[in-house]
């Protein structure tokens, strides 16, 4: 589902029913990668964007956790990355921001992916059309 707000020039992308409660059983999950479940993007300037990214990683513990997310072009070119320095075991899903990402004018859509410190990038990603480039 994609929701856009003209006044703020922002978009929110929600994927599936990912905002339900995540059980914290203490048993490691078989899930290999964190999933991006929502992305909000706002134009900050002619080629600059701010992102709020919601990630779900039910296995998050101090021993293994989602440790980054990135904004890329559909071709894989990385425009920005946010490193996460600790686990979010008590906050699932969790949202973090990334501001001032420069994306060239020719790029209409981006992809947001999350990374696991053990297995790298993977899991569910979200593709978003930039609000002023439809």
- What is the Cβ-side half-sphere exposure of residue 61, based on CA atoms within 13 angstroms? 10
88 is a domain residue: yes
**pTM (predicted TM-score):** 0.76
Q: Which long-range contacts (CB under 8 A, 24 or more apart) does 104-107 make?
A: 104/47, 105/46, 105/47, 105/133, 107/73, 107/79, 107/133
| Whole-angstrom distance, CA of residue 94 vs CA of residue 91 | 6
pLDDT of the residue at 29 = 52
Q: Of the spans 25-39, 44-58, 82-96, which averages the highest pLDDT?
A: 44-58
- The fraction of the chain above a pLDDT of 90, given in percent, is 52
pLDDT band, residue 5 (cuts 50/70/90): very low
* Helix, strand, coil % in the chain, rounded to nearest 5: 0, 50, 50
Q: Is the peptide bond before 93 cis (omega within 30 degrees of 0)?
A: yes
pLDDT band, residue 107 (cuts 50/70/90): very high
Domain range for 89: 2-16+32-129
26 is a domain residue: no
85 is a domain residue: yes
23 is a domain residue: no
Q: Give per-residue pLDDT as tens, 14-36.
A: 444 333 333 334 445 567 789 99
Count the domains in the chain. Answer: 1
Q: Is the pLDDT of residue 40 over 90?
A: yes
57 is a domain residue: yes
24 is a domain residue: no
Give the residue-averaged pLDDT of 89-110: 92
pLDDT band, residue 134 (cuts 50/70/90): low
27 is a domain residue: no
- The fraction of the chain above a pLDDT of 70, given in percent, is 76
CATH number of the domain residue 61 falls in: 2.60.40.150
120 is a domain residue: yes
């Amino acid at each position: 589902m994609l929701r856009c707000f003209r006044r703020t020039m922002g978009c929110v992308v929600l994927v599936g029913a990912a905002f339900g409660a995540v059980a914290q059983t203490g048993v490691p999950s078989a899930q290999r990668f964190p999933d991006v479940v929502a992305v909000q993007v706002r134009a900050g300037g002619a080629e600059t964007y701010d992102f709020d990214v919601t990630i779900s990683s039910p296995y998050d513990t101090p021993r293994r956790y989602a440790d980054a997310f990135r904004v890329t072009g559909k071709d894989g070119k990385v425009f920005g990355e946010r490193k996460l320095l600790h686990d979010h075991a008590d906050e699932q899903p969790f949202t973090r921001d990334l501001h001032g990402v420069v994306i060239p004018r020719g790029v209409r859509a981006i992809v947001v992916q999350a990374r696991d410190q053990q297995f790298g990038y993977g899991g569910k990603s979200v593709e978003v059309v930039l609000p002023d480039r439809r």
